Amino acid sequence: MTRTLTDEHGSSTASPQRTGSIGLFNDAVAMTRRNLLRLFRTPQVIVFSTIQPVIFVLLFNFVFGGAIDFAPGVTYIDYLVPGILVQTSLFASGNTAIGLTDDLQKGAIDRFRSLPMRHSAVLIGRTNADALRAALTMTIITIVGFLVGFRTDHYLGLLIGVLLAIAFAYAFNWVFAGFALYVKSPEAAQAGAFLPVFPLVFAASTFAPVDQMPGWLQPFAQHQPVSVTVDAIRALTRGEPAATKVLQSLTYTAAIIVVAVPIATRKFKRS
């Protein structure tokens, strides 16, 4: 046996970490690719995570469509689609927690941590891939919305609205990444992830106008991030002035990212 594991010239031994953001970018791309490959090889996960919001669109539209009072000229489906987009972004974020805890249990994270890579790329790759997945789901929901009567004259507004929802999803992916690192088991992640999601999604303007809710709930329901984002997307799809609401939504998104990213990253480095 004459070959050696170590290259004699020393040149092709893995170089110590590349400097700066190039290394991080390279690692984040590799990790995103890995997670997307895994995702597309489990089509049943995509199907189920798409069917659920589609059922919500159909159910809420046909069940509540006639019961809720709106301003004249606004159909419920037009009201509903922006809400479902944001609801989807939050529900989809739970997948970040499940995927990450799964990797932890199977030893994949250990392998990554033993490699000379930027470890934050593990979390970046996970949150990126899940944001792309949310984008795919949102596209399908919008198409289904159109099929059951959703109409808008403001396609650019709709596009901006969807992007807003994706950014919102991305921020919550980080929240759930941090959550996953604390709970560690996929079962706990699955059970726990939805606890904060339900009040955020339902005590909001997602499915029904806030002014029909009890007085004590209204201040929260009106100003919490889900409502602000849903309202922004509604305004965008109706061609109403939306700048303030869009800015508020982006501020929420940015604030969540600023808080969640360091918490998740620090927890990852220490665990």
Partner 1 sequence: MTSMISVQGLSVHFGALRAVDNIDLEIPKNQVRGLLGPNGAGKTTLVRVLATLLEPTSGTVTVGGHSVERHPNSVRSMIGLAGQYAAVDDLLTGRENLEIVGRLYQLPKTEARKRADEALERLSLTDAADRLVRTYSGGMRRRLDLGASLVGRPEVLILDEPTTGLDPRTRLELWAFLRDLVTEGATVLLTTQYMDEADELADRITVIDTGHVIADGTADELKARVGGDLVTASPKRRADLARVAELLTDIGSGAVRVDENQLTVSVPVDARVDALVRTAQRLDEAGIELSDLGVQRPSLDDVFLAITGKVGSDTTAPTETKRHRGRR
Give the binding site for partner 1 (CB under 8 A): 1, 3-7, 12-18, 23, 26-27, 29-31, 33-34, 37-38, 41-42, 104-108, 110-117, 184-185
Residue 40 or 70: the one with the smaller Cβ distance to partner 1 is 40
CB of 264 to partner 1, least distance (A): 19
Of 187 and 211, which CB lies nearer to partner 1 in the complex structure?
187
Q: Please, what is the minimum distance in Å from the beta carbon of residue 102 to partner 1?
A: 11
In whole angstroms, the minimum distance from the beta carbon of 121 to partner 1 comes to 8
Q: Residue 108 in contact with residue 38, Cβ under 8 Å?
A: no
Least separation, in Å, of the C-beta of 240 and partner 1?
A: 45
Query: What sign does the CA torsion over 42, 47, 53, 59 have?
Result: negative
Long-range contacts of 237-244 (CB under 8 A, 24+ apart): 237/78, 237/81, 237/82, 237/152, 237/154, 237/157, 237/158, 237/161, 238/74, 238/78, 238/152, 238/154, 238/157, 239/153, 239/154, 239/157, 242/157
Residue where the block lists tokens 């807003």: 164
Triad 203, 197, 52: Cα angle to 5°: 100
Among residues 112 and 179, whose Cβ is nearest to partner 1? 112
Using the minimum distance from each CB to partner 1, give the nearer residue, 114 or 212: 114
Residue 113 or 151 having the CB closest to partner 1:
113
> What is the closest distance, in whole angstroms, from the C-beta atom of residue 185 to partner 1 in the complex?
7
